[in-house]
Amino acid sequence: DVKVTQSSRYLVKRTGEKVFLECVQDMDHENMFWYRQDPGLGLRLIYFSYDVKMKEKGDIPEGYSVSREKKERFSLILESASTNQTSMYLCASSSFEDLLSGANVLTFGAGSRLTVL
Partner 1 sequence: KQEVTQIPAALSVPEGENLVLNCSFTDSAIYNLQWFRQDPGKGLTSLLLIQSSQREQTSGRLNASLDKSSGRSTLYIAASQPGDSATYLCGVWGAQKLVFGQGTRLTINP
- How far apart, in whole angstroms, are the C-alpha atoms of residue 96 and residue 86? 31
Residue 90 contacts partner 1 per CB under 8 A: yes
54 binds partner 1 (CB under 8 A): no
Cα separation values, 93 from 15, 31, 54, 89, Å: 29, 5, 14, 14
Q: What are the distances in angstroms from CA 59 to CA 26, 33, 64, 108?
A: 26, 12, 12, 18
Q: Is 1 in the site for partner 1 (CB under 8 A)?
A: no
From the list 13-21, 29-37, 62-70, 71-79, the region that binds partner 1 by CB under 8 A is 29-37
Q: Does the protein bind partner 1 through residue 25 (CB under 8 A)? A: no
Q: Which is nearer to partner 1, 50 or 67 (CB)?
A: 50
CA atoms within 13 Å, Cβ hemisphere of 88: 12
Q: Which residues pair with 37 in a beta bridge?
A: 43, 88
Nearest approach in angstroms of CB 32 to partner 1 is 12
Chain residues in the site for partner 1 (CB under 8 A):
4, 31, 33, 35, 40-45, 48, 50, 56, 58, 90, 92, 99, 102-111, 113
